[in-house]
Amino acid sequence: MKYISTRDASRTPATFTDILLGGLAPDGGLYLPAEYPQVDAETLEKWRALLTGDGYAALAAEILKLFVDDIPAADIEAITARAYRTPVFDDEEIVPVTPLDDGVHLGHLSQGPTAAFKDMAMQLLGELFEYELARRETTLNILGATSGDTGSSAEYAMRGRTGIRVFMLTPAGRMTPFQQAQMFGLDDPNIFNIALDGVFDDCQDVVKAVSADADFKARHHIGAVNSINWARLMAQVVYYFSCWLKLTDGPGQKVSFCVPTGNFGDICAGHIARQMGLPIDRLIVATNENDVLDEFFRTGRYRPRSSAETQATSSPSMDISRASNFERFIFDLNGRDAGLTAELFGRRVREGGFELDDAAVRRAADEYGFASGSSTHADRLATIRETHEKLGVMLDPHTADGVHVARGLRDEIDSPIVCLETALPVKFSETIREATGLEPEVPERFAGIMDAGRHVTDMPNDAEAVKKFIEDSIAAHDAR
């Protein structure tokens, strides 16, 4: 299995373990498999028996083997067994699927250590990073950006690991108190929290700017855990297969997925699963008021917005107006034309965006299965309240965005719809109180989290300042 950049017209191939530690390609593009591995009905039925018998970790190993040929198969099996186990995840199924109403189901992705779907990928990344760094006898300094959940998931997955440091950028004042407590409460010496004066897109831009400095990146072994890292998407592909297997009982049956998204990472994994041959009917993009992606799938216009235009909402992890992973889908949609992708995302996005023709919009829907919708604060409050009152199920605000959009499209879709859960409600207690008048349940593993100290450095929105902080912190850490 070889990997190519979305912007490399020469198709220079790379191996999995080479791109695992790097993040962005040298040309600024994103890595994808040169060809998607194909899964037939017979294989899916074998995996159905495997999931039932040996569980999620065994299924994950089989899927990873399709994408990774430079790690021995036995080591992949050991890596997934360590990543997907109890008590790291608090349910033996790892990703349970439960019915909600009228053909809508919940795919529970929040059973991990930080109660967010990001744990599904980060726990695997922690194992992969530590394994490969040990093989290479080197170190890695992870630079990431978070709108709420990626940061805590990454830090909990990497804390205490040999040869790894984490520098995580957060938008100052834009995360919920619980999300801040999860991250800033950690005092592990290999974890560095930075509160940037800006919004998530600014944090993401700084990560890209630092990564684009090839000399700095090489000198300090800078790697990525944001969804620009291919291994994260690869990990997320697994739960699409798992949910499909749980909701079907034979070959060819179709399932749709509704995915709350801002950065297009979670649903991009669904796109990849569909390209592999998983019988996915529709992939429904659910946005909040920052509806750049919904606008594209309705009109063909992709118009990233400035920090000032990005609204602060009650589903803050989706307050994103420049979707990094969208480049991967547009690359596929346009016939894997690397030159066009470089033009669109290397130049035109910086100049305000681009517009594809009606034929491309139809292909996105008809050939690739995409649909979309958006949700407002009032919509998510009503969805949280009604779902709790009628069904006894408490949703977090991001998952409520997904459920709202799924219900709105229910009459147009014949297949069952799995709404992928984003996080547990405890992370967004203010919105839960506003919607229901109740305090969300606090899982036992989070008791006392709000009482911990805070370890965070405030910084300006400046890539050079961040680079200096990283340099100084590495030097101080090495001197201990």
- Beta bridge mates, 372: 285
Strand 222-223 and strand 140-145: the pairing is: parallel
- Beta bridge mates, 169: 145, 194
Single out the catalytic residue among 2, 118, 390, 427. Answer: 118
Q: Tell me the torsion sign for CA atoms 395, 315, 451, 189.
A: positive
String of b and e for 4-14 (b: at least 16 CB within 10 Å)?
A: bbbbbeeeeeb
CA-to-CA distance for 279 and 294, rounded, in angstroms?
23
User: For residue 25, what is the enclosing H or E element?
Assistant: none
147 and 320 in contact (C-beta within 8 Å)? yes
Neighbours of 107 (CB within 10 A): 27
**Distances from the Cα of 397 to the Cα of 265, 408, 424, 434, angstroms:** 18, 16, 9, 11
CA-to-CA distance for 303 and 101, rounded, in angstroms?
35
Closest by alpha carbon to 183, among 260, 116, 121? 116
State yes or no: is 118 an active-site residue. Answer: yes
Within 68-199, residue ranges assigned H as helices are 73-83, 119-136, 150-158, 177-184
Residue 105 φ then ψ, to 5°: -125, 160
Instruction: Quote the crossing angle between the two packed helices 230-247 and 119-136, to the nearest 10°.
Output: 130
387 and 435 in contact (C-beta within 8 Å)? no
**Distances from the Cα of 209 to the Cα of 19, 26, 191, 206, 412, angstroms:** 18, 12, 21, 5, 42
User: Which residues are within 8 A (CB) of 445 and not within 5 positions of it... i.e. 6 or more apart?
Assistant: 90, 113
Strand 3-5 and strand 140-145: the pairing is: unpaired
Beta strands in 377-477 (DSSP E): 417-420, 457-459
* HEC readout, 211-271: HHCHHHHHHCCEECCCCCCHHHHHHHHHHHHHHHHHHCCCCCCCEEEEEECCCCHHHHHHH
**Residue 270 half-sphere exposure toward CB, CA atoms < 13 A:** 27
Catalytic residues: 118
